[in-house]
């Protein structure tokens, strides 16, 4: 390994200092391997696969300032899938690329500008890391973790081959020090597929990729990306029955997404905290370690995801992680796949939940958790008589089984500890599924696991200043996380903002297939129930939009957290009724 020192000026004192830089070459699945894995996820480090020492840079600039964050749009074709940074902390980052070559690679980290080519990259750099060759068994993807970095510092990085071929330049900012109260700004979205319809030249949801171009153009400290990072099942070419089950088949889906320049630009522009959900495997997927075929599919999904995503992962804790961003913000990433028991709609498809069949439609019940008086109201509002048929109590009992869960007892306990021990002004829980209750098609959400959801709602309410940011619903829905939806919010009730999709099916299109009057019924549901205030029998959501590709920006200061949902161009999103959607503001308790 070749390292050269770089002296940098510290903002607070103007003194020069050097710190040790350790570079850990991370293998897939590296992580904690004992019973203490859940104890302090914020301090988790994978075991070192190699290390070295050298000086690093110090200093901090305001969010979005410092070195130019524009990325090079002319990388060598060898690095066609771009670059990415993830799992960033105050002193570390996980860097990623894919190189379609067997040539040895390096990655260089700097605080200043790169030259036009790889020549001289090491001169004045924080470090240049020798990575060896990109392994074919990981589809030529490589990951390298650098530690010993300086808090609150803007860095740039570039991969090169020993022949001089260069990747684009990526950027990331380390999390601020515990006493650095500078505002934190980030964006979040989720649900993306570049799948094409038959004989099409571009992705079916091509317009949605503009979401990533909009995010790439913003001065963000990081991007939180929700699950369904690929769709292993054919959601565009419906009824083919094909599911990408092997690691190689899933690799191809990740490469499809990375063929979109907007997506690559967003990943290169800043670091990411990434989720998975179910479509990395299949719609409604749940792990069953007792089933060899299921477990092989699960492992293939984990391997492909960690091959293509710079993310903290261990077999014991999945992707559950905690990241601290100074005194203003703690970020908690949930894992809602590894420990989830089977959703009831998947059980229905397998012939194990016949009680959830609606006696009128003879299909699965679409709104099983809604009280009967509400179902009767919806029957009048939406013009669907099947809503008047009572839900079989056996279906409700199946949903309410306390043995069923999304998080599982160990992850729930770890979340409890993370929230209650947090000293930050705000806690953001990144959930790939909404926790709000809105009744329609609840099976895969927390709403489809009501026993665990009740405990979760109570936990969130007991830690003021906690905000849930969710995806997966393929819509923008902002409202309180409450045990009694539709009542006026009570003190301590957590706020949730769900956004999306980035580039996948929109909820308007999906739900219109559930009701006889299609889009008109969905519009009435959105305006007359979701948006209607509690006093009028509605949920009182502050933001409701079911037909837009979307993301949201978040700004967190010492006393205020503000979420602004945005359309695919980056403009503030409008509600279904034309009123402004946001900003959603939470003040420090």
Average pLDDT over residues 40-60: 34
| Minimum mean pLDDT range among 205-209, 242-246, 401-405 | 242-246
| Minimum mean pLDDT range among 32-36, 402-406, 416-420, 552-556 | 32-36
> CA 337, CA 113: separation in Å to the nearest integer?
40
- 335 pLDDT above the threshold of 70: yes
Q: Which residue has the tokens 């008589």?
A: 385
- 239 pLDDT above the threshold of 80: no
Q: What is the pLDDT of residue 451?
A: 96
β-sheet bridge partners, residue 187: 223, 553
- State how far Cα 365 lies from the chain centre: 29
Q: Residues 6 or more apart from 145 whose CB is under 8 A from it?
A: 23, 24, 25, 26, 46, 87, 92, 93, 94, 95
Query: Domain segments of the chain: what residues?
Result: 1-174, 344-587
Q: What is the pLDDT of residue 236?
A: 82
Average pLDDT over residues 294-301: 98
CATH of domain 344-587: 3.60.21
- Domain 1-174 class, CATH top level: mainly beta
Q: What is the pLDDT of residue 44?
A: 43
Q: Residues 6 or more apart from 320 whose CB is under 8 A from it?
A: 38, 41, 332, 333, 334, 335, 411, 414, 415
Q: In the chain, what are the helix, strand and coil shares in percent, each to the nearest 5?
A: 25, 20, 55
**Do 1-174 and 344-587 fold alike per CATH?**
no
Average pLDDT over residues 546-555: 98
Q: For the segment 363-393, what is each residue's pLDDT rounded down to a tens digit?
A: 999 999 999 999 999 999 999 999 999 999 9
Please, are residues 3 and 287 in contact by the beta-carbon 8 Å criterion?
no
Q: What is the pLDDT of residue 75?
A: 66
**What band does 120 get if pLDDT is binned at 50, 70 and 90?**
confident
Q: Residues 6 or more apart from 51 whose CB is under 8 A from it?
A: 22, 23, 24
Please, are residues 575 and 543 in contact by the beta-carbon 8 Å criterion?
yes
Q: Where are the alpha helices (DSSP H) in 309-449?
A: 344-349, 372-382, 393-400, 409-421
> CA 514, CA 506: separation in Å to the nearest integer?
14
Mean pLDDT of the chain: 87
Q: What is the pLDDT of residue 127?
A: 80
Percent of all residues in the chain with a pLDDT value above 70, rounded to a whole number? 86
DSSP E strands in 166-267: the ranges are 170-173, 184-189, 222-225
pTM of the model: 0.89
Average pLDDT over residues 132-149: 94
- At 208, list the tokens: 């949605």
Q: What are phi and psi of 403, to 5 degrees?
A: -80, -10
Average pLDDT over residues 529-547: 93
Three-state secondary structure call for residue 379 = helix
- At 432, list the tokens: 């790939």
Q: What is the pLDDT of residue 222?
A: 98
Q: For the segment 485-496, what is each residue's pLDDT rounded down to a tens digit?
A: 655 555 668 999
Q: What is the pLDDT of residue 492?
A: 66
Q: What is the pLDDT of residue 117?
A: 86
């Amino acid at each position: 390994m070749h390292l050269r020192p770089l002296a940098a000026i510290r903002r607070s004192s103007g003194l020069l200092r050097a710190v040790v830089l350790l570079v850990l070459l991370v293998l897939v699945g590296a992580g904690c391997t004992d019973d203490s894995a859940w104890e302090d996820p914020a301090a988790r480090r994978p075991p070192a696969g190699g290390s070295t020492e050298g000086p690093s840079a110090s200093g901090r600039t305001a969010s979005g300032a410092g070195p130019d964050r524009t990325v090079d749009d002319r990388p060598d074709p060898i690095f066609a899938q771009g670059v990415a940074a993830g799992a960033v902390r105050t002193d570390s980052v996980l860097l990623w690329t894919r190189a379609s070559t067997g040539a040895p690679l390096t990655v260089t980290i700097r605080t200043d500008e790169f030259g036009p080519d790889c020549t001289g990259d090491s001169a004045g750099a924080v470090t240049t890391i020798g990575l060896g060759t990109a392994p074919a068994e990981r589809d030529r993807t490589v990951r390298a973790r650098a530690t010993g970095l300086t808090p609150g510092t803007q860095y740039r990085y570039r991969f090169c081959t020993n022949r001089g071929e260069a990747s684009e330049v990526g950027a990331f900012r380390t999390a601020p020090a515990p006493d650095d109260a500078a505002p934190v700004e980030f964006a979040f979205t989720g649900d993306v597929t570049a799948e094409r319809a038959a004989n099409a030249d571009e992705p079916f949801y091509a317009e949605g990729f503009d979401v990533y171009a909009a995010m790439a153009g913003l001065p963000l400290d990081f991007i939180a990306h929700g699950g369904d990072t690929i769709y292993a099942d054919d959601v565009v070419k419906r009824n083919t029955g094909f599911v990408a089950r092997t690691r190689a088949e899933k690799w191809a889906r990740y490469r499809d997404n990375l063929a979109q320049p907007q997506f690559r630009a967003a990943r290169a522009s800043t670091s990411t905290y990434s989720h998975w959900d179910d479509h990395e495997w299949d719609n409604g997927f749940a792990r069953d370690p007792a089933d060899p075929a299921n477990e092989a599919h699960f492992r293939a999904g984990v391997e492909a995801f960690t091959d293509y995503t710079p993310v903290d992962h261990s077999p014991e804790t999945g992707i559950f992680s905690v990241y601290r961003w100074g005194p203003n913000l703690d970020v908690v990433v949930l894992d809602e796949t590894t420990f989830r028991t089977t959703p009831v709609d998947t059980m229905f498809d397998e012939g194990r939940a016949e009680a959830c069949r609606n006696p009128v439609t003879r299909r699965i019940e679409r709104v099983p958790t809604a009280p009967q008086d509400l179902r009767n109201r919806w029957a009048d509002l939406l013009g669907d008589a099947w809503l008047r048929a009572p839900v079989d109590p056996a279906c409700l009992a199946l949903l309410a089984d306390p043995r069923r869960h999304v998080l599982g007892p160990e992850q729930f306990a770890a979340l409890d500890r993370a929230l209650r021990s947090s000293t930050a002004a705000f806690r953001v829980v990144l959930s790939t599924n909404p926790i709000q209750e809105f009744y329609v098609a609840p099976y895969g959400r927390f709403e489809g696991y009501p026993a665990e959801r009740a405990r979760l709602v109570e936990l969130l309410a007991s830690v003021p200043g906690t905000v849930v940011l969710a995806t997966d619903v393929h819509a923008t829905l902002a409202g309180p996380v409450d045990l009694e939806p539709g009542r006026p919010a009570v003190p301590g009730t957590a706020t949730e903002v769900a956004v999306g999709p980035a580039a996948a099916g929109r909820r308007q299109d999906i739900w219109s297939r559930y009701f006889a009057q299609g889009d008109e019924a969905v519009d009435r549901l959105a305006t007359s129930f979701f948006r209607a205030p509690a006093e009028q029998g509605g949920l009182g959501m502050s933001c409701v939009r079911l037909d837009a590709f979307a993301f949201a920006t978040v700004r967190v200061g010492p006393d205020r957290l503000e979420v602004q949902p945005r359309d695919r161009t980056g403009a503030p999103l409008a509600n279904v009724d034309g009123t402004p959607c946001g900003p959603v503001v939470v003040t420090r308790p």
